């Protein structure tokens, strides 16, 4: 959505976003339960096929809906596990930063009602704070990494990505993690 793609298939056809998603999957896969019998290669291949399907016309704004409810188990938990094993969750934390950036862009570069979240009123009330304070407040509101010793590390990683996306768009944030491309 931040790169200007209205649908998942259009976003997934963007080489920079596709590379990001591939790296995101590679970063998240080691955090999945080893004893679950998951065939991650088959699963990601099926996801890639679905994400490339132009007939689905799945809107990127739909993915942002209810982010405060989706991110804890889908992204934050994996990011915490990466930190616990001594790894940096660059791609996972960029997802969090992108969601925050999209929330902040509503009513500015994105339509006001482009997507919704149960915390919309509370997020809007955060106002203009310094980046670290704002992200910590978002983490508090959404319960991201609540009570976890890795919380501050996550906040700092998200802040770095958010600053890049605010300075030059999502393309700068992607470039900062080594993904060249033309995404906006």
Residue scoring higher pLDDT (166 or 146): 146
When pLDDT is cut at 50, 70 and 90, the band that residue 183 belongs to is very low
Check residue 31 and give its pLDDT.
93
Distance of CA 7 to the CA centre of its chain: 16
Structure tokens belonging to residue 64: 């942002």
**Tens digit of each residue's pLDDT (9 = 90 or more) over 149-174:** 999 999 999 999 999 887 767 888 89
Check residue 184 and give its pLDDT.
46
- Set out the domains of the chain in order of their start, with CATH numbers: 8-176 (1.10.1040.10)
Q: What residues pair up with 106 in beta bridges, in sequence order?
A: 110
| pTM of the complete model | 0.92
Q: If you write DSSP's letter for every residue of the chain in order, what string do you get?
A: -TTS-SBHHHHHTSHHHHHHHHHHHHHHGGGS-GGG---HHHHHHHHHHHHH-TTT--BHHHHHTTHHHHHIIIIIHHHHHHHHTT---HHHHHHHHHHHHHHHHBTTTB-TTSS--TTHHHHHTT-S--HHHHHHHHHHHHTTTTT-TTHHHHHHHHHHHHHHHHHH-HHHHHHHTT------
Q: What residues pair up with 23 in beta bridges, in sequence order?
A: none
**Tens digit of each residue's pLDDT (9 = 90 or more) over 23-64:** 999 999 999 988 888 899 999 999 999 999 999 989 998 888
């Amino acid at each position: 959505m931040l790169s200007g793609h209205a649908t998942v298939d259009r976003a997934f056809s963007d080489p920079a976003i596709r590379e990001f998603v591939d790296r995101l999957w590679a970063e998240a896969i080691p955090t999945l339960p080893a004893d679950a019998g998951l065939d991650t290669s088959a699963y990601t291949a099926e996801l890639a096929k679905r994400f490339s399907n132009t007939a689905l016309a799945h809107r990127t704004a739909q993915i942002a809906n209810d982010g405060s409810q989706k991110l804890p188990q889908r992204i934050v938990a994996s990011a915490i596990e990466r930190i616990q094993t001594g790894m940096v969750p660059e791609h996972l934390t960029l997802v969090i930063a992108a969601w925050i950036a999209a929330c902040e862009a509503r009513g500015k570069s994105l339509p006001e009602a482009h997507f919704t979240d149960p915390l919309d009123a509370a997020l809007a009330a955060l106002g203009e704070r310094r980046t670290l304070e704002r992200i910590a407040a978002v983490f508090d509101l959404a319960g991201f990494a609540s009570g976890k010793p890795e919380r501050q590390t996550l906040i700092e990683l998200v802040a770095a990505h958010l600053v890049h996306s605010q300075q030059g768009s999502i393309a700068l944030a992607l470039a900062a993690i080594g993904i060249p491309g033309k995404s906006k």
